[in-house]
């Protein structure tokens, strides 16, 4: 079966973006800050494309996020069969909210990858991205966060995202681990 090259690139780009979004908006904030600092310190204009452009833009990112978000729902560790009752409930009783979550994840990835869109947290927190408040009630453990990151990596591989872009997306996601797991850490401290 022959593939259209532009469709292949678009799917690849979408998967990369999707991973970054599902990793949660925390990683994107770090990438966004690094991107802004790099722009300020560069004296010569560079012809290098932004991560947003290298991922294929909003449509490609949305396709990746769509695949990634559906994979999370079905993931046995963090999805509908999770041992974490909060995650299990969200992925079984709140799926009507999934389209909105996909939109927010896509917006976040577009923002943190240097695109022309602005992400704003729905539940502002102590951090610019507000991920700790959005995830607090889910009590996501560090191991569960790592499984979501692994799912993102599998989605990026599925989309055939190049290694450089995959690494950048995963790094942006990982940068928000403390925020996303804050609810679990707080609950563990309370006993």
Taking domain 5-190, whether its CATH number is 1.10.490.10 is answered by: yes
Enumerate the H helices of 23-113 as residue ranges: 25-41, 51-55, 57-74, 85-93, 98-112
Quote the pTM value. 0.73
Q: What is the pLDDT of residue 162?
A: 96
Contacts of 187 (CB under 8 A, 6+ apart): 139
What is the domain partition of the chain in residue ranges? 5-190
pLDDT digits (tens, 9 = 90+) for 140-186: 999 999 999 999 999 999 999 999 999 999 999 999 899 899 888 88
Cβ 119 vs Cβ 128: under 8 Å: no
Give 50-70 pLDDT, tens digit per residue: 999 999 999 999 999 999 999
Confidence of residue 46 (pLDDT cuts 50, 70, 90): low
Q: What is the rounded CA–CA span in Å between residue 157 and residue 115? A: 22
pLDDT of residue 100: 94
Q: What is the pLDDT of residues 110-121, one digit of tens each?
A: 998 999 998 888
Q: Residue 49: name the closest of 168, 188, 189 by CA.
A: 168
Would you state the pLDDT for residue 187?
A: 84
Predicted pLDDT at 3 = 38
């Amino acid at each position: 079966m022959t593939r259209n090259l532009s469709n292949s690139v678009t799917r690849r780009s979408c998967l990369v973006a999707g991973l970054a979004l599902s990793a949660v908006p925390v990683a994107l904030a770090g990438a966004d800050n690094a991107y802004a600092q790099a722009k300020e310190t560069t004296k010569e204009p560079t012809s290098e494309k932004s991560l947003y452009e290298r991922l294929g833009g909003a449509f490609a990112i949305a396709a990746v996020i769509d695949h990634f978000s559906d994979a999370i729902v079905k993931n046995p560790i963090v999805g509908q069969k999770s041992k974490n009752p909060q995650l299990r409930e969200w992925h079984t009783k709140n799926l009507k909210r999934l389209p909105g979550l996909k939109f927010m994840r896509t917006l976040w990835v577009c923002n943190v990858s240097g695109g022309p869109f602005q992400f704003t947290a729905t539940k502002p927190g102590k951090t610019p991205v507000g991920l700790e408040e959005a995830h607090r009630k889910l009590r996501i453990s560090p191991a569960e966060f790592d499984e979501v990151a692994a799912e993102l990596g599998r989605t990026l591989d599925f989309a055939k995202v190049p290694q450089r872009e995959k690494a950048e997306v995963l790094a942006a996601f990982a940068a928000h681990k403390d925020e996303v797991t804050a609810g679990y850490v707080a609950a563990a401290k309370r006993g």
